[in-house]
């Protein structure tokens, strides 16, 4: 009788366990796409010009987050890629910008530079690693969840855009070395030599083929009614060309524009990334076995074009119409190679961009430029007035000041008092909207969006001592072309679209921070969230 009871209890427990078990059915391949400097309104402004199979397919068949934003300062490439894939902000993941001042090394540093490694594929350009990113990414967690099975590979024109998304455990990260090389390269952080398929691609002449092309508008330029006149005073042009106007004969311009570097600032930079991504999927058999693979793709050329020509230019419009075609082609490739219902994809941006302030001024809209030297003199006058010294600032940055703690100690001053007086005085400088000290950020929780974003970008160990927020459309940049970096909506509002296996068709108009992408993907994949994650699951996106 006892044996029967034990058996029945065991069967009952087994039955309960079976009922409560999780059926893990992951996609064969996850594809993350980041479009560098893509404003959300590029989806709506150019919508009627897009094909049915690119952006429109993702919007109409996927889950479109119409009110997605970055929730920190600064909105920059390295920070954006890190935040998308880690599910958190600079306050935790430690990626403070593309470049930033290192208080310990006493110098400006670049986000992915690492002299511990060597270049693979060319003579220079590859001493890189993700070591400054102090958290895991969703790609890291996917590999860990599968006991390091499954591959993660990342591809971009920019090194930082390739390195940061796939984190620390990637099988490979490849980026494009321009100048006289025109090759995809990597670092010894990932491998000792390039795989044969990469060498074959580099030797194929594909980059040269694109450099011999003429960049002219995809459609009749007169139909580009969503952008301003082609010849205007708000755009920079390529060296060797008198005006920023179509067409651009690249072979004629190449020599004066560092040869293959020129490709980066044309839509063909995006096209060669798509070509390389296809080869990676085929050669590495991504999505071809029992483990889920991760492919991160970043389209950087849109950023180069936006910086040079501005967000309202015909060059930007043409870049997005051509990117739409490239994405349509890539989706069809994934359908055939992986299977239409076997991959999950998301598309977002690393930041957006401001309209050219000079253009806004021409339309009588308030906008301004920062005179860095004048601002520096203003700050030094403050320290001289209050503390009889011009040596209290260790480093000037566009949006923050680093105090010289040694000098302040030597003069027997209170560092917090110095910082507060600077903040109180700098608010009186032209076009300054807010000033905040590090001490305030450490002791106050801000709810207001702009200051909340500043707080999310503050890292006690790495950040400065006084922070400056300028008025909207006030930038430190040339009078031609666009830039980014602020917490204003023109820099924060970007697309988030989920598509494919496990994704529900629909639209959200709720405010969604960009850091929600990583936990949403993690939940879909049934894996741990990245270890610094502070985002939430976008419930409406998942079936």
pLDDT tens over the chain, length 543 residues: 343 433 444 444 444 444 455 567 899 999 999 999 999 999 999 999 999 999 999 999 999 999 999 999 999 999 999 999 999 999 999 999 999 999 999 999 999 999 999 999 999 999 999 999 999 999 999 999 999 999 999 999 999 999 999 999 999 999 999 999 999 999 999 999 999 999 999 999 999 999 999 999 999 999 999 999 999 999 999 999 999 999 999 999 999 999 999 999 999 999 999 999 999 999 999 999 999 999 999 999 999 999 999 999 999 999 999 999 999 999 999 999 999 999 999 999 999 999 999 999 999 999 999 999 999 999 999 999 999 999 999 999 879 999 999 999 999 999 999 999 999 999 999 999 999 999 999 999 999 999 999 999 999 999 999 999 999 999 999 999 999 999 999 999 999 999 999 999 999 999 999 999 999 999 999 999 999 999 999 999 999
Taking the C-alpha atoms of residue 315 and residue 372, their distance in angstroms, rounded to an integer, is 29
* Domain encompassing residue 66: 34-358+486-541
Q: Quick one: 399 and 285 in the same domain? A: no
Q: So what's the pLDDT on residue 9?
A: 44
Q: Quick one: 125 and 190 in the same domain? A: yes
Q: 11 in a domain, yes or no?
A: no
Q: So what's the pLDDT on residue 22?
A: 57
Taking the C-alpha atoms of residue 242 and residue 253, their distance in angstroms, rounded to an integer, is 11
Q: So what's the pLDDT on residue 397?
A: 87
Q: What is the CATH number of the domain that holds 511?
A: 3.40.720.10
Q: Quick one: 175 and 130 in the same domain? A: yes
Taking the C-alpha atoms of residue 354 and residue 102, their distance in angstroms, rounded to an integer, is 28
Q: Quick one: 240 and 186 in the same domain? A: yes
Q: So what's the pLDDT on residue 59?
A: 98
Q: 5 in a domain, yes or no?
A: no
Taking the C-alpha atoms of residue 28 and residue 342, their distance in angstroms, rounded to an integer, is 6
CA 113 and chain centroid, separation = 17
Read off the tokens for 507. Answer: 């639209």
Q: Quick one: 354 and 372 in the same domain? A: no
Taking the C-alpha atoms of residue 359 and residue 348, their distance in angstroms, rounded to an integer, is 27
Q: 13 in a domain, yes or no?
A: no
- pTM, two decimals, is 0.95
Q: Quick one: 445 and 499 in the same domain? A: no
Q: So what's the pLDDT on residue 6?
A: 37
Whether the CA torsion 194, 195, 197, 200 is positive or negative: it is positive
Taking the C-alpha atoms of residue 68 and residue 297, their distance in angstroms, rounded to an integer, is 20
Catalytic residue among 75, 77, 86, 534: 77
Q: Tell me whether residue 77 is one of the annotated catalytic residues.
A: yes
Candidates 157, 73, 58, 161; CA nearest to 496 is 58
Q: Is residue 184 helix, strand or coil?
A: strand
List Cβ neighbours of 158 (8 Å cut-off, separation of 6 or more): 36, 77, 175, 298, 300
Taking the C-alpha atoms of residue 257 and residue 266, their distance in angstroms, rounded to an integer, is 12
- Residue that finishes a domain, picked among 471, 503, 529: 471
Q: Quick one: 299 and 399 in the same domain? A: no
Q: Quick one: 119 and 233 in the same domain? A: yes
Q: Is residue 527 helix, strand or coil?
A: coil
Q: Quick one: 379 and 330 in the same domain? A: no
Q: 8 in a domain, yes or no?
A: no
């Amino acid at each position: 009788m006892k044996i029967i009871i034990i058996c029945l209890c065991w069967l009952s427990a087994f039955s309960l366990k079976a009922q409560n078990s999780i059926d893990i059915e992951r996609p064969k391949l996850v594809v993350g796409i980041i479009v560098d400097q893509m404003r959300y309104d590029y989806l709506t402004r150019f919508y009627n010009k897009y094909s049915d199979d690119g952006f429109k397919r993702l919007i109409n068949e996927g889950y479109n987050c119409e009110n997605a934003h970055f929730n920190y300062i600064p909105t920059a490439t390295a920070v954006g890629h890190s935040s998308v894939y880690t599910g958190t902000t600079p306050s935790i993941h430690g990626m403070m910008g593309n470049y930033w001042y290192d208080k310990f090394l006493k110098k400006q540093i670049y986000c992915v530079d690492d002299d511990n490694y060597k270049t693979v594929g060319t003579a220079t350009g590859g001493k890189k690693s993700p070591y400054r990113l102090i958290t895991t990414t969703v790609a890291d967690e996917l590999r860990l969840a599968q006991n390091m099975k499954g591959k993660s590979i990342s591809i971009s024109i920019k090194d930082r855009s390739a390195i940061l998304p796939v984190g620390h455990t990637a099988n490979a990260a490849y980026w494009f070395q321009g100048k006289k090389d025109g090759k995809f390269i990597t670092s010894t952080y990932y491998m000792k030599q390039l795989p044969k398929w990469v060498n074959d691609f580099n030797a194929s002449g594909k980059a040269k083929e694109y450099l011999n092309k003429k960049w002219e508008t995809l459609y009749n330029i007169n139909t580009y009614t969503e952008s301003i006149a082609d010849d205007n005073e708000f755009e920079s042009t390529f060296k060797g060309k008198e005006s920023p106007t179509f067409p651009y004969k690249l072979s004629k311009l190449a020599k004066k524009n560092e040869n293959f570097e020129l490709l980066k600032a044309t839509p063909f930079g995006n096209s060669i990334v798509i070509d390389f991504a296809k080869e990676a999927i085929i050669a590495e058999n991504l999505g071809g076995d029992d483990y889920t693979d991760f492919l991160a793709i970043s389209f950087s050329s849109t950023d180069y074009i936006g910086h040079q020509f501005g967000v309202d230019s015909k060059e930007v419009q043409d870049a997005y119409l051509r990117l739409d075609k490239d994405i349509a082609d890539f989706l069809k490739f994934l359908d055939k190679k992986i299977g239409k219902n076997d991959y999950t994809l998301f598309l977002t941006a690393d930041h957006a961009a401001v309209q050219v302030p000079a253009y806004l001024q021409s339309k009588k809209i308030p906008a301004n430029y920062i005179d860095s030297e004048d601002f520096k003199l203003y700050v030094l006058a403050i320290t001289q007035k209050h503390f009889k010294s011009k040596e209290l600032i260790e480093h000037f940055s566009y949006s923050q000041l680093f105090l010289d703690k040694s000098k302040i100690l030597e003069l027997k001053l209170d560092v917090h008092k110095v910082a507060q007086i600077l903040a109180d005085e700098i608010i009186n400088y032209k076009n300054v909207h807010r000033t905040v000290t590090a001490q305030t950020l450490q002791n106050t929780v801000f709810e207001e969006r702009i200051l909340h974003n500043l707080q999310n970008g503050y890292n006690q160990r790495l950040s400065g001592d006084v922070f400056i927020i300028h008025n909207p459309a006030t930038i430190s940049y040339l009078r031609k072309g666009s830039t980014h970096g602020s917490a204003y909506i023109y820099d924060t509002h970007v697309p988030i679209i989920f598509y494919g296996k496990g994704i529900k068709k629909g639209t959200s108009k709720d405010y969604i921070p960009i850091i929600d992408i990583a936990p949403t993907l993690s939940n879909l994949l049934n894996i741990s969230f990245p270890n610094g994650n502070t985002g939430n699951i976008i419930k409406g996106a998942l079936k």
